Amino acid sequence: MNHKNVLLYAVLSFFLLISCNSTGTNSQAENTADTSAIEQPKVEKNKRILFFGNSLTAGYGLDSKDLAFPNLIQQKIDSLNLPYTCVNAGLSGETTAGGLDRIDWILKDPVDVFVLELGANDGLRGISTETTTKNLKAIVEKVRKAYPDCKMVLAGMMVPPSMGEKYFNDFSAIFPKVAKEENMTLVPFLLDRVAGITALNQSDAVHPTKEGQVILAENVWKHLQGIL
């Protein structure tokens, strides 16, 4: 092989080598891109949604607290990969007065979104609407003082018509009034599409079944999702 042929062979070998390496690099880059497109980063849940309520929040009568609407909302949040953890601070039998006494202890941990679900037990006991209003506003003020940037949600409630027309109307008006004055997102009626429907309530005709809790979660989520 003469000198010219040796030189030509060397040049061809050089370009062939570059071509092979370039192909391998591109393939590796494509594989990396494909992998990054498939794998979604896990979002760290560093924000807290506090559900502060009574037996409706606590999931009274259900086989597991996981069936209560705050926990069902957590499932929706997880499916959307949002950075929030739901905390169920429901306590069966809680009144607004009891909630006002309890809130300081609950606020020891940070709160980014506060969902207030209290008042139903006040209504069933015939507590004055002025007292219920005062207690709800005092709870909100405590939360705002502790966490000024916290977003607020208020779950509306009604009492049975048997409580009398005046009390029924006055009680129902509490929640829109407090929500407006305190700049809160209002869930107009937590038990919408559940109250009075036998199949969606337990034998006491007050507490939702697991199917009823699914609808409660939908009622809240419809208003909550926009502020997350």
Catalytic machinery residues: 55, 204, 207
Q: What are phi and psi of 88, to 5 degrees?
A: -90, 105
Can you tell me which residue has the tokens 């390496």? 21
Q: What are phi and psi of 86, to 5 degrees?
A: -85, 135
What is the Cα–Cα distance from 189 to 6, expressed in whole angstroms?
88
Burial tier of 105 (Cβ tally within 10 Å: 0-12, 13-18, 19+): exposed
Q: Which helix (H) or strand (E) holds 33?
A: helix 3-38
C-alpha 31, offset from chain centre: 37
If you compute the radius of gyration of the chain from its CA atoms, what whole number of angstroms results?
A: 29
